[in-house]
Structure 1
Amino acid sequence: MANYQQSKVALTNSATLISIFAEKIRRQIIIALGNSDDGLNVTDITALVDISRPAVSHHLRLMREAGVIDMRSSGVEHIYFLTLSAPLQQLQATFATLAADTEAAGGK
């Protein structure tokens, strides 16, 4: 019988990140921030994703908590930018663990 215990732990630890990338609005925000040289404020992001400002702020909070973005203050506004290196490394490690468990289980 296959033992996917390592994959279970890895997938559980990465579930928040997976949900960040799975949601359409958050993917749009990631692309918008990726296309920005210096980051974007909430007003800029709201215009690009066409949802309310409170909804954008909600998504930004979740993304910051997951480590996908960060923020710096510029006067009275907050500028958001991508911080994908660590989250992507975590996802790569998760999928490598899943691949190793799958191979050990005979490709099942």
Structure 2
Amino acid sequence: MGKQAMETFRSCIPLFQAMMDPARQDIILLLAEKEPLTVNEIAEHSPLSRPAVSHHLKILRDNRLVHTEHKGTQRVYSLALHDAVHRMKELIAVVEATCDLGEPGNGKS
């Protein structure tokens, strides 16, 4: 794998780590269905406590997967997947351009 491909892959690792947690996956799916939502509204749809939901939302926000908007005294969360999708597309493009992917069914993986 080329240097650019490795750098791009490594830059996506925090994004992959943020998305691999089932609780965060559930939050992303909930927001995809019902956004925007407050922490309390997300907690109502989750087996997690409000502090646990807040923790997961912080990780999602730090990785630019959700956006926060202040409405009065509450924070309202919505999805912000554009940057994440762009980074993954960039990774796919670099891997396709620099790696021998082999032909399907020829034993190479």
TM category (shorter chain) comes to: 0.7 to 0.9
- Report the equivalent of 1:98: 95
Q: Offset at 1:49?
A: 2.0
- Report the equivalent of 1:35: 33
Are residues 1:69 and 2:66 paired?
yes
- Report the equivalent of 2:105: none
Moved over 2 A (4+): none
Query: For 1:45-96, what per-residue CA distance to the aligned partner results, in whole angstroms no more than 9, with x for missing partners?
Result: 1121210111111111111111110111111111000111111011111122
- Report the equivalent of 1:54: 51
In structure 2, the gaps of 5 or more residues are 103-107
Give the Cα–Cα distance (whole angstroms) in 1 for the partners of residues 49 and 94 of structure 2. 39
Counterpart secondary structure, 1:35: helix
Q: Offset at 1:101?
A: 2.0
TM-score, normalised on structure 1?
Answer: 0.86
Q: How many residues align?
A: 103
Q: Which has the higher contact order (CA 8 A, sep 6+)?
A: 1
Task: Pick from 30, 36, 42 the counterpart of residue 45 of structure 1.
Answer: 42
Q: Offset at 1:4?
A: 2.8
Give the Cα–Cα distance (whole angstroms) in 2 for the partners of residues 102 and 49 of structure 1. 41
Give the Cα–Cα distance (whole angstroms) in 2 for the partners of residues 24 and 84 of structure 1. 17
- Report the equivalent of 2:75: 78
Give the Cα–Cα distance (whole angstroms) in 1 for the partners of residues 19 and 2 of structure 2. 23
Identity %: 26
Say what the alpha-carbon RMSD is for the aligned residues: 1.5
